[in-house]
């Protein structure tokens, strides 16, 4: 199983059903070193699935006091690929550090991630 952190539209049941064909199970956790921002989505399919053209996005700060609440879902490797297809180019998938000590994937702002490497 894979672990995927969601802080936005992937927490919506309608998005889970459209993307994965099922409602996901998970638990609350907190991602460290990021702040929540917004991005305008132009992909018509993503807007149709989520019902929104403004989505939350995480920007890396590296500051341990910057923490974002969300849910870590258990998904299959195939479902992780489906999540990759759902996310638009403004996002990149990275391994995150969580308050629980667990590691999970998170979709974050591609621009801030490329600037930190």
- What confidence category does residue 115 fall into, taking pLDDT thresholds of 50, 70 and 90? low
Element of type H or E holding 43: none
Tokens of 95: 């391994």
Element of type H or E holding 55: strand 54-60
Q: Write out pLDDT tens, residues 19-58.
A: 999 999 999 999 999 999 998 888 888 888 888 888 889 9
- Domain containing 42 — which CATH number? 3.10.490.10
Mean pLDDT of 6-22: 92
Structural domain count, the chain: 1
CB atoms within 10 A of CB 3: 20
- What confidence category does residue 117 fall into, taking pLDDT thresholds of 50, 70 and 90? low
Q: What are phi and psi of 66, to 5 degrees?
A: -90, 115
- Full-model pTM: 0.86
């Amino acid at each position: 199983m894979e672990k995927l952190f969601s802080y936005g539209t992937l927490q919506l049941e309608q998005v889970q059903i459209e993307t994965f064909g099922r409602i996901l199970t998970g638990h609350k956790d907190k991602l460290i070193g990021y702040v929540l921002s917004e991005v305008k989505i132009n992909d018509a399919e993503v807007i149709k699935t989520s019902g929104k053209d403004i989505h939350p996005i995480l920007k890396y700060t590296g500051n341990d006091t910057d923490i974002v609440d969300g849910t870590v879902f258990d998904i299959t490797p195939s479902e992780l690929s489906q999540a990759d297809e759902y996310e638009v180019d403004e996002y990149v998938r990275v391994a995150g550090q969580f308050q629980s000590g667990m590691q999970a994937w998170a979709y974050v702002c591609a621009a801030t991630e490329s600037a930190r490497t």
